[in-house]
Amino acid sequence: MLKCPMIERAKLSDQKEKKGFVIWLTGLSGSGKSTLADEVYDSISANGNRVEKLDGDVMRGVFPATGFTREERDAHIKRVGFVASLLEKHDVIVVASFISPYRKARRLVRDMCSNFIEVFVSVSLDECERRDVKGLYKRARAGEIKDFTGIDAPYEEPQNAEIVVDTESQELEESLAQVMEYIKQYM
């Protein structure tokens, strides 16, 4: 079968025009970040896009010496943000899911990236504690876990997130649709 060079070049140039961007999901433990990130990742990859998912629990396994003091959390987010920015520069869409409790650290990641979309996964602390599938809040309340975000370490809510999803009042499908509608402009 003969190939038409004009069509092949057109397909190649269409692929090259797709730019990478970073979707950064932030919120309390148990807010639904990872669940939503999984759905966003699946939706983006189903369309044949180059996409990579970075998850807080997975990345802590890669960087096992990462602690939970403010300085250690900031250093961890800086490392992960750098990885996200490298992927973005190579036209990969990055779906990142991290508590990332401090505005300054999230701003640092935003500054590293060309196209950064902050998604605040909003839910009350009470609801996060009710959902507590890992038992982390219970252990933090018992004093077994120190510097736990939302209990004895602060979570600084985003002030100007591009997207705010309320997983307490929205179904997963609604939150997913909200994110996918917003990112259409980047795809």
By annotation, the residues acting in catalysis are 100
Q: At CA 81, angle to CA 75 and CA 84, rounded to 5?
A: 150
Give phi and psi for 171, each to the nearest 5. Answer: -75, 160
For every residue of the chain, DSSP letters joined together read: ----HHHHHHHHHHHHHPPPEEEEEE--TTSSHHHHHHHHHHHHHHTT--EEEEEHHHHHHHSTT---SHHHHHHHHHHHHHHHHHHHHTT-EEEEE-----HHHHHHHHHH-SSEEEEEEE--HHHHHHH-TT-HHHHHHTTSSSS-BTTTB-----SS-SEEEETTTS-HHHHHHHHHHHHGGG-
| Cβ contacts of 104 within 8 Å, gap of 6 or more | 74
